[in-house]
Structures are given as C-alpha cells and as structure tokens.
Chain A
Amino acid sequence: MTTLSVRVWRGGPGENGGRFETHAVPRLPAQTVLDVVTHIQRRIDPTLAYRFACRVGMCGSCAMTVNGRARWTCRTHVQAVAGDGALEIAPLAHFPVIRDLVTDMRGFFDKWAQAKGQFVPTATRNDSFARIEPAGKTRRAVDAAIECIGCGICHASCDVVGWNAGYLGPAALNRAWTLVNDPRDGGRATRLAAVAGDAGCHACHTHQSCTERCPKRLAPTASIAGLKRAAALAALKGQIA
C-alpha cells in the first residue's frame, strides 16, 4: 500500500497562529481529499477540526485550500491534485480561521444580506402563479447563476476580496444578479443601489478566478458584468439616490 504525505494546518490564522503538521495517510482507490481529512481525524488525531455535511457536493460546507487552491474537498479526488503523493490542506483564504480547517463564514453570508440577497415578494397568496417564460432572456440569466451552493470558493479565490475588505464578493453579487432578473421580485432599485460602487460590482477587475474555480461551473464574472451595466444605467437615470 502506498501512502500520502499530508500537511494539514493546525491552530488559528496566520503564520504565528498555527503550523502545518505532517501525517502519513494510506492511499486508496477513488479517495477524495475529504476522505483524507476524515482519516486523519478518525485514525490519527481526533482533535482536528474541519467541517463537512453531505459529502456529495450539495451543501457547500467542506471547501478548503488544497495544494494552494480553493476546492470542494468532497468532490476532489486525490488522484487529480496529488500526483506526486503530497497534499497540503489549509483553511479557505480570505475567511477568519476559527480553528484548524474551520473558518468563520458569518462575514461571507452577511455580505449576501448587504447585497440584498433576499427575495422581495410582490404578490400575495391570493394572486395566481407568476408566468415565467422558461426560454425568456431573464429566466435564462437566472438559470445560469442559480445553482450556487455557498461554498465560498469564489470568495477565497478573488483577488479583489483580498485587497478590499468591504467588497461584497462574487457569491453575494451572483445572488443579487439572480434576483435582479426575477420579474416577481420587488426589490430591484434597492438592490442595485446596494451593489453599486467601490464596495460592490464596480470594484470587480474581471480576473475571472471565481469563474475558473467555481465547482458548480457558474460564471459569477458574467453575473457581475450584468450588475455593472444595470447599476450604472440605474445611476444614470437617477434611480440610485
């Protein structure tokens, strides 16, 4: 049986807050990075803190930095990322570290709220169902962006998030874009005002790291580009106070 050499981050944030510990983990067929972390916690060191839930790429809770790149660990095969048998597993970048591989996601989801990521209903229970043309332009724009699982990989991969702490980030802006294209929603003007400017969509440099690394293969960059146009037009028309 061959073994993997796995460096795992232990402790708090930054170089002084913790250190990498190295473990030897048995190499198995079809092994995922999450399998490796689970093996370390269950067989080597039960104090290792990490987060996961569904194990099948639905819940968005197991994202970590794997060999320097943010990935969903449950759907990342060791074979694809550790050809030389070496793995380095660290918490997501741009998130405060709570302990080991667990990060604090509160700021990330607070930004969804700041971007007005909540649906604002305009109908009551007495109204009939809204009729949305499935092949319509806005519905297709929503379809292209709606499958976000909130894993934070785009946020961890975004340079602008690293430079500008107030920046809402690709996930929150992508969510806002799905609502801007929802004809049932009544919060468009408030939402465009919330996502405009230096901390919003106009701060995006179109590096496209979010789009390249999104495990759901969404394109937040395209969503942000749509928001830039919509918000700038709203500003021009005086709809943003």
Chain B
Amino acid sequence: MSARRRQALLWLAQRASAAVLAACVVVHLATMIVAVRGGLSAAEILARTRGSLAWTAFYGAFVVAVAIHAPIGLRTILAESTGGHRRALDIAVGAFALLLLAAGLRAVFAVTVG
C-alpha cells in the first residue's frame, strides 16, 4: 500500500472513530450524571455493569474508538511540530495506540467482569 493511500485511510479512520466517540461521550456523560444524581454507590454501579453484555460492548467500542482516534491526531501534531522522521513517528504512535487499547480494555474488564 502506498504512503498516500495509507494516509488517506488513516484520515478516514479518524473521522469514523470521531463519529463513534461523539455518541459514546454523550451516552457516557449522561449515564454518569444519572448515576450520581440517583445516588448510586460504586458497589451498586458495579452490580449493574458486571456480567452486562451491553455495557461490555459499549465501553469496548468506546476504548477501540479512542485507541484509533487519539494516536492519529497525535501523529499529525508531532509531525508538524517536530518535523520528525515519519517511520519513527508511526512506530511511536502505533505503540501509543496499543497502550491506550490495553489500558482501556483492562478498565472495561474490571467493571464488567471483575
């Protein structure tokens, strides 16, 4: 695959993940506000999320979208501000994407499986 095609597809992936994030952030914030105002304790929240396939799927998608969206944006910022070596940059942001994915999925696992 040529560099230009890969870069165009990265742009598309960032746009698509942004659309997913827009929905996820709204649902996440609304859920947080409802839970807090409803006076739910941490234990009560965990009782609802553990074993829930819906919450697992929702936060799993949220984490995947973050792991796609943020590194692509970071790659652009670093390229413009440092003028650095593209190959090294791609490896660095690829590692950052894996870190986000691992940390995010670990958190999802903690609240849905335990």
Contacts and interface: CB of A to CB of B under 8 A. Distances in A.
B5 A240 contact: yes
B54 interface: no
A235 interface: yes
Interface in B67-100: 76, 79-81, 86
Given A163-B80, A164-B80, A197 B4 contact: yes
B8 A202 contact: yes
Interface residues of B, number: 17
B4 A200 contact: yes
B79 to A, nearest CB: 7
B8 A232 contact: yes
Interface in A146-177: 160, 163-164
Interface in A204-241: 228, 231-232, 234-236, 240-241
A202 B3 CA distance: 13
Contacts of B8: 196-197, 202, 231-232, 234-235, 240
B7 interface: yes
Given A163-B80, A164-B80, A198-B79, A232 B11 contact: yes
A235 B2 CA distance: 10
A236 B5 CA distance: 8
Nearest to B75: A198
Contacts of A198: 3, 7, 76, 79, 86
Interface in A175-214: 193, 196-198, 200, 202-203
B9 interface: yes
B57 interface: no
Contacts, number: 50
Nearest to A239: B5
Q: Which of B11, B12, B15 has the most CB of A within 10 A?
A: B11
B68 to A, nearest CB: 15
Interface string B1-45: 011111111111001000000000000000000000000000000
Contact of B9 (A163, A203, A232, A241): A232
Given A163-B80, A164-B80, A241-B2, A196 B12 contact: no
B80 A202 contact: no
A196 B11 CA distance: 10
20 contacts: A163-B81, A193-B2, A193-B4, A193-B5, A196-B5, A196-B7, A196-B8, A197-B5, A197-B7, A200-B4, A202-B10, A228-B11, A231-B8, A232-B8, A235-B4, A235-B5, A235-B8, A236-B9, A240-B8, A241-B2
Given A193-B2, A235-B8, 6 more contacts: A196-B7, A197-B6, A202-B8, A202-B11, A232-B11, A234-B8
Interface of A: 160, 163-164, 193, 196-198, 200, 202-203, 228, 231-232, 234-236, 240-241
Interface of B: 2-12, 15, 76, 79-81, 86
The 10 closest A-B pairs by CB, nearest first: A197-B7, A235-B8, A197-B4, A202-B11, A196-B8, A163-B80, A232-B12, A240-B5, A196-B4, A235-B5
